[in-house]
Structure 1
Amino acid sequence: MLRSFLRLPRVQGGVHPKGFKSDSSTMAIEKLPLPERLYLPLRQHAGADAIPIVKPGDKVLKGQLLALAPSEISAPVHASSSGVVREIALVTAPHPSGLPAHAIVIEPDGEDRWLETGVSGSPYDVDPLTLADRVAQAGIVGMGGAIFPAAVKLKQGAKHEIKTVLVNGAECEPYLTCDDRLMRERAADIIEGARLIRHILQAYRIVVAIEDNKPDAIAAMREAAAPFGMVEVQVVPTRYPMGSAKQLIQTVTGSEVPAGSRSTSVGVLVHNVGTVYAIYEALSFGRPLISRVVTVAGDCVANPRNIEVALGTPVKNLIDACGGLTADPKRLVLGGPMMGVSLASLDVPTMKGATGVLALSKAEVPRAEESPCIRCTSCVDACPMGLLPLEMASRTRIDDFDGADEYGLKDCILCGSCSFVCPSHIPLVQYFQYGKGQQDAKRTAAKKMDYTVQLSLAKQQRVDAEKAAKAAAKAAKKAKKTKRVKPTANTPNTLSDTEKSASADSNVEVKTEDQAL
């Protein structure tokens, strides 16, 4: 039964950008043909780069492991199709800087042959932690753009009492409709994936949260959830950034996640619908994350639509599949217009967190020249985290990052609401991205220094231990020598006791013979 919005707590802040969703939301998902080359970056996730286990010339099958995760906060990389590894080289990364990143380059053979998975039986008969390990081995990360390894969240959740599995179907970013189409077309699979997550976490219930501007998705998900009493589809107001985990939790449950804490602290674990679908594929069929649905939209795109694309496919191929560009875009974006990253070119690969590819015209990117802050506090009203963006920005400008932290820089979710409403067109979110980056670099340097000190201390301890061991061995050897009995030159002590006795008897016999004579 639909809950009334009046019963829900009012979420602070947020904005109402125009949706621009109608063009792509009406088009069913289409599968994109394989490109001539697949470029699979070794980092498509939060954490350390994956470590390659293949070399140029190796033949690989679809779904085969190509690179291992070096730590828990990482994710492995798998082949998106069968073919031959041509090289491990630097490619243009999907980042505003255009800096290169290491990637495994595969030339598909056109056969698209799967690696034998060997998965059998029901996943509900498998131990929950084993299922979480399978999610890790499948390389699944947050598909809503966060790209945080999904298995880490599942394992953290297993340490807490999780009451609610919250499936995030809000999709509040303008233009993006990939989650909308996924819920319409694969609702039963998403519900099954959510039930598997509930099984892993031993949670009480499942709530699928969908914004009220997606009536078809709501209907499809409700129909799929109807047979399961523990699954509820809840409609939430259309308001950006409703898709942010903390805002969604507060809207759905009424609980506020404390600053610096995770959602598990209030008994909730959140996963995007795309992530849930990938978990279903991994646990039911043993398929790793090697493809995803991407929205291709914007005024400069001839035919906006949603495309299921093999990871590693160049962005240019996605644009071409939608009829190409009708004009030179003012801005190319990977992701949504609010939190996505600008691209310098189309020669970048599609990655796990790529929710959209947008080619925006000049009319869609209104940008007036920046002017001084007028202290209107519009950014304060818009901030969903209740922060003071103007104070954070003023301190970040002068590189006072600790001062910015005191005003909540660490709690900023970089949603861009403050920049969206600023009448002075100050790029506030860019300041916060810069400040967060500097603070991360500072923390990384401090950790590196601590690690170096630990290594130095450990080396000194080893050296001291070796010196002590040598000194002890030398002392023991000397003590052993002093205890040894040394014979003198006048009384040689070379005969055994038996020999000494025999010698004595012989002397007695000689003397007796002499006396007889």
Structure 2
Amino acid sequence: MSQGKHLPSILVPHHKNTAGRETEVMPIPDVVRISMSQSIGAPCKPLVQKGDYVKVGQKIGDSDAFISAPVHSSVSGTVKDIVPFRGSMGGTETHIVIETDKEQAVSEEVKIPEINSFDDFIKAVRASGMVGLGGASFPTYVKLSPKNLDECDTLIVNGAECEPFITADNRMMVEQGQDVLDGVKIIMEHLDLKKGYIGIEENKPDAIANLNRLIEQEGLTNVETFKLQSRYPKGAERVLVYEVTGKVMDAGVLPAQLGIILDNVTTVAELGRYFRTGMPLVRKRVTVDGDAVNDPKNVFAPIGAQIADIVDFCGGYKAEPKKIVMGGPMMGRATNSDESPIMKNTGSLLIFGQEAAQVKEETACINCQRCHSACPFGLMPQIFAEAYERRDVDRLNKFRVMQCMGCGSCSFICPARRPLAMTNTLAKGLVKEAMKK
């Protein structure tokens, strides 16, 4: 096991309450709502119509765009409707609403892929519908076919899971460790990578032990776990690359440009499972936690299951939910309705009551510089805030606002409770608008 260099980080309350809870499979709900916007890039166009009968694993949405990934039905049943829906990102998505028959009949399209070349491998990865499952939702087939593939020699698997509350990746590494290694091996084989690292925070000893056991059992001399500090944001792409390799990855630079292929551990495991079974991405392990849910647990849910149905499986609401966050509390997004469905990249559902959801009153900046000290890249959020207020694009560029990755460390550490991370995002938008002129 390796340990590497360290960038500035913060110690957040981890609240890994469900780390010891074995994943439970929820019953198939009466209805699922499957979004056609499941990846970064172009949304998919529905391939089915109202009244059609669909089966598990059947492709129901696709796009001709390069940056996109197909969408598959997670259930068997009848297409009840195809409707617009306001997503958690604020835009309008197309949802295919399926009334399930609870039979989970498997589509004839589900077949173990036959791989005889690199092109076959990439086509199969695309056919799996795989995207970055850590939250980014970037199409995996694009990530695994960079233009400079011949310059890439290292695979980094991101199993850090540094956000508070979320334990889904941890449970996956404990319960499906072989899938992780199968995915690692097939990626390294077809991309001709020489070395593989699985980065895991040290607060997951069961996951580390399980993967070390399997690595030794299979005699993999070119793959090892990499122990990370249990601090935030060790799982951020640019931070992880530096910690493992010592290479500095500026904003806008892709890991492949540094000779690295980097992917989330659940994405890698799901690829391992797909190449063994032929079943595309149709379900997701989701951590359900928060002070307003009765029985926090890790749940296997069909993609498209509505939040309300998943919460019901977890014993329902313990208190009136005042905030529902899809993802972690640092970088996740709040949704305005428990009718919202889970997506491919949904790692957790955090249900908070009045006290936990309350935003503390903002006070004046005291120039303590804690935001600067907490930033992994030494940025100065307090200067960004002042420059944004004055709409001073030159000053924002001078102090490198575009290097901000939106981790939220500055907002968390600020004693004045200023929304610095949100201001940074707005400031980056201001710079982008200025670049268009």
TM-score range with shorter-chain normalisation? over 0.9
Greater helix share, structure number: 1
Measure how far apart 1:362 and its partner are: 4.3
Identify the match of residue 416 of structure 1 among 396, 405, 408. Answer: 408
Question: C-alpha distance in 2, partners of 1:380/1:361?
Answer: 31
Instruction: Measure how far apart 1:26 and its partner are.
Output: 1.3
> Is 1:54 matched with 2:48?
yes
Within 5 A, what are the aligned runs for 1:73-472? 73-95=67-89, 97=90, 100-117=92-109, 119-120=111-112, 123=115, 126-156=116-146, 159-226=149-216, 227=218, 228-365=220-357, 367-401=359-393, 403-437=395-429
In 2, Cα distance between the equivalents of 1:133 and 1:162?
A: 20
Aligned 1:6-85 pairs, distance under 5 A: 8-11=4-7, 13-21=8-16, 23-85=17-79
When normalised by structure 1's length, the TM-score is 0.80
Corresponding residue for residue 492 of structure 1: none
| CA distance in structure 1 between the aligned counterparts of 2:139 and 2:166, rounded to whole angstroms | 22
Structure 1 residue 117, shift from structure 2 partner: 4.0
Quote how far apart the aligned CAs of 1:58 are. 1.3
Q: How much identity, in percent, do the aligned residues show? A: 34
**Equivalent residue letter for 1:68:** D
Residue identity opposite 1:19 in structure 2: H
CA distance in 2, matches of 1:212, 1:259: 27
Q: For structure 1, which runs of at least 5 residues remain unmatched after alignment?
A: 447-517
C-alpha change, 1:296 and 1:316, in structure 2 (3 Å) is: same
Cα deviation, 1:311-366, whole Å, max 9, x if unaligned, reads 11001111111111111234221100000011222110110111100012344346
- 1:391-434 deviation per Cα after TM superposition (whole angstroms, max 9, x unaligned): 22222233445642442232211100000011111101111223
In structure 1, C-alpha distance between the alignment counterparts of 2:112 and 2:232, rounded to whole Å:
42
In the TM superposition, what is the alpha-carbon distance from 1:214 to its structure 2 partner?
A: 0.5
Return closer, same or farther for 1:442/1:41 CA change in 2, 3 Å cut-off: farther
Paired with 1:439 and 1:113, the residues of 2 have a C-alpha distance of 50
Aligned counterparts of 2:68 and 2:119: Cα–Cα separation in 1: 18
Aligned residues: 435
CA distance in 2, matches of 1:60, 1:92: 24
Counterpart Cα distance in 1 of 2:234 and 2:160 = 6
What amino acid does structure 2 have at the position aligned with 1:9? K
The runs of at least 4 consecutive aligned structure 1 residues that moved more than 6 Å come to none
More off after superposition, 213-222 vs 81-90: 81-90
Separation in 1 of the partners of 2:261 and 2:121?
16
Match of 1:296, SS?
A: strand
Question: When the two structures are superposed, what TM-score results if normalisation uses the length of structure 2?
Answer: 0.94
182-191 or 24-33, which deviates more = 24-33
Q: How far apart in 1 are the matches of 2:43 and 2:32?
A: 18
- Who wins on radius of gyration, i.e. which is larger? 1
The CA distance in 2 between the partners of 1:322 and 1:314, in whole Å, is: 13
1:273-295 per-residue CA deviation (whole Å, 9 max, x = no partner) reads: 11111212332322211111000
Relative contact order (alpha carbons < 8 A, sep ≥ 6): 1 or 2 greater?
2
1:132 and 1:200 in contact (8 A); partners too? no
Structure 2: segments with no counterpart, 5+ residues: none
Q: Structure 1 residues 310, 234: CA separation in 2 closer, same or farther (over 3 Å shift)?
A: same
Looking at structure 1, the residues matched to 185 and 262 of structure 2 have their Cα atoms a distance apart, in angstroms, of: 13
- What pairs with 1:495-506 in structure 2 (closer than 5 Å)? none
C-alpha distance in structure 1 between counterparts of 2:434 and 2:82, whole Å: 31
| 1:296–1:357 Cα contact (<8 Å) kept | yes
Deviations 1:242-284 (A, max 9, x none): 0011111111122222443111122111111111112123323
